[in-house]
Amino acid sequence: MILPKAVLLDRDGVINFDSPDYILAPEQWLPIPGSLQAIARLSGAGIQVAICSNQSALGRGMLDQQVFQSIHAKMMLAIEEKGGEIAHVAYCPHGPDDGCACRKPLPGMIDESLQVLQINAAEALFIGDSIRDVQAAHAASVAAMLVQSGYGDAAAILEKSRALMPDIRCYADLAAAVDALLA
């Protein structure tokens, strides 16, 4: 496999543990074991890393921009402490009924990241944990991988994803996906 110039990551369920009740405070942001080191390995291999994440808790009024930025700062510091670098962060603050162009499964955040990173879709890979992630990657013509570290039904997510991308590869977590990518 030719290495991508950039890897775009979903946040919750890929980098950190997800919660059906949202991540609403910095102390709730807990990295999945090996995820920060995986990002550092991508950075060390010269691959740009970006984050594309739905964050509807903002639009729902469940947390404010200051708390969100505190969660984001904790994540960035944790990634940097392991030697990783994030080139771009795109997030959608809208709810599912807001009619925006950025919320996954739409490709808005992926398109934004490709533009900021100055690469085309063929040079990127999206790693996510949900069908929305795969749908957004597919809509942006970006290759995708799945990880099973999110809180959804991983088998059902994989089955739905294969309907869009028959050859999609699936791994236990981000560390395993990066192992396969860099092998």
Catalytic residue IDs:
10, 12
The DSSP H or E segment spanning 179 is helix 174-182
CA distances from 148 to 18, 50, 95, 138, 155 (A): 12, 20, 24, 19, 9
Instruction: Give the phi and the psi of residue 64 in degrees, each rounded to 5.
Output: -100, 175
C-alpha span between 84 and 35 (Å, rounded): 10
Amino acid identity of residue 27, one-letter, is E
Four-residue CA torsion sign, 152, 154, 158, 160? negative
- Tell me which DSSP letter residue 142 carries: -
Spatial CA neighbour of 6 closest among 114, 144, 112 = 114
